[in-house]
Each structure stands twice: as C-alpha cells, then as structure tokens.
C-alpha cells in the first residue's frame, strides 16, 4: 500500500488555487493566502521535487477551435492481459491517443482519442489502433458534449476530525 503523503492546509490551498489557474503569479497567491512569496516558492519546490505531488504545468487547449471536433472513448479488449505493456507502448505512438487507462471491468484499456472528424476517427481506429498486436477488439463511444471538466477539490475533508 502506498504511504500517505502528509501536506498541510497551506499546501492544499496553494495546490487548489493553482489547479484552478496555473498561470497565477506566486506573489498573487502569497497575497491571497497572507504569506510571503518566498513561502510559496519553498512550498512549491517541496511539492514538486521532494514529494512529487506537482508534476509540471499543462496548457489547456480548446481542440475544437483548432479543427479537432471529435472526442471519443475507446474500450479495448486484449487477447491476453499479459500483452498490456506491449499494447500500451503501441498506443503511445499514436498522437491522437491523449489518455490511456488500465482498467477493471469489461475493458482491459480505456482510451481517449481526439480527431478532426469521423473520417479521421475511422482512420485512427482501423489504420492504427486495431493494427496493434494483442488487441482483440474495440468499442467506440463518441462524446457529444463535455459537461464537466474540473480539478479535484482537495481542500475539503481534511480537517482535524476527518478520516484519511
């Protein structure tokens, strides 16, 4: 079992604020949290380098505005579960695959792909994904609308009386 990493409320507040808007200046965070800018820098270095909680910063892009109109989820059935590593490696070589999860349930792997249109989706499915050795079959789910996309609220449920 993975050891629980201990962080305090200030660390959680810093993370929560940056998860909402990662472009915030540390000085702005410091002012909002009534601490010094140096404190924010020290805490962020600890969260990144020592604890490995923060793993870089990402730019969120509206793919739709760039001409990528189809988001789809793909359930992948493997011939044998022992082929997972090989299939996952094959999936990393396909640029349209933006997420892949090893799962329980019906599918061995659940993947998110982003394509320009349904023709592009078909090309990715038949020309790339289904040609990976070890994939038995796939099921595709096209997303019609993304209703919720948000960071996890890590500030609730961590008071002195809450269970961990």
Q: What is the pLDDT of residues 78-126, one digit of tens each?
A: 999 999 999 999 999 999 999 999 999 999 999 999 999 999 999 999 9
Question: Where residue 158 falls among pLDDT bands split at 50, 70, 90?
Answer: low
Cα 156 from chain centre: 21
- Cα–Cα distance measured from residue 100 to residue 110, given in angstroms and rounded to the nearest whole number: 6
Provide the pLDDT for residue 2. 61
Domain boundaries, the chain: 9-50, 63-143
Provide the pLDDT for residue 161. 42
Convert the pLDDT of each residue in 35-55 to its tens digit: 999 999 999 999 999 999 999
SS3 124: helix
* Percentage of the chain lying above the pLDDT 70 cut: 93
pTM: 0.80
Q: Which fold has domain 63-143?
A: Alpha-Beta Plaits (3.30.70)
| Torsional sign, CA 101, 141, 148, 120 | positive
Strand order in the sheet with 135-143: 97-102, 109-115, 70-78, 135-143
Provide the pLDDT for residue 164. 41
Does an H or E element contain 114, and which?
strand 109-115
Mean per-residue pLDDT for 64-86? 96
- Cα–Cα distance measured from residue 68 to residue 96, given in angstroms and rounded to the nearest whole number: 10
Mean per-residue pLDDT for 7-35? 93
SS3 154: coil
Structure tokens at 80: 């044998």
Does an H or E element contain 140, and which?
strand 135-143
Convert the pLDDT of each residue in 116-156 to its tens digit: 999 999 999 999 999 999 999 999 999 999 999 988 998 87
Choosing among 1.10.10.10, 3.10.20.880, 3.20.20.70, 1.10.3720.10, the CATH entry for 9-50 is 1.10.10.10
């Amino acid at each position: 079992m993975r050891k629980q990493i201990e962080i305090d409320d200030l660390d959680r507040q810093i993370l929560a604020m940056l998860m909402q808007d990662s472009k915030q200046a540390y000085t702005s965070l410091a002012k909002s949290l009534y601490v010094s800018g140096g404190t924010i820098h020290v805490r962020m270095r600890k969260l990144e380098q020592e604890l490995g909680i923060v793993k870089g910063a990402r730019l969120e892009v509206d793919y739709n505005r760039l001409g990528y109109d189809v988001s789809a989820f793909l359930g992948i059935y493997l011939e044998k579960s022992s082929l997972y590593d090989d299939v996952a490696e094959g999936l990393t070589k396909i640029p349209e695959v933006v997420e892949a999860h090893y799962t329980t349930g019906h599918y061995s792997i659940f993947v998110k792909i982003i394509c320009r249109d349904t023709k592009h989706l078909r090309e990715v499915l038949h020309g790339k994904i289904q040609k990976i050795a070890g994939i038995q079959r796939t099921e595709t789910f096209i997303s019609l609308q993304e209703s919720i996309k948000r960071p996890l609220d890590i500030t609730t449920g961590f008071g002195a009386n809450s269970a961990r």
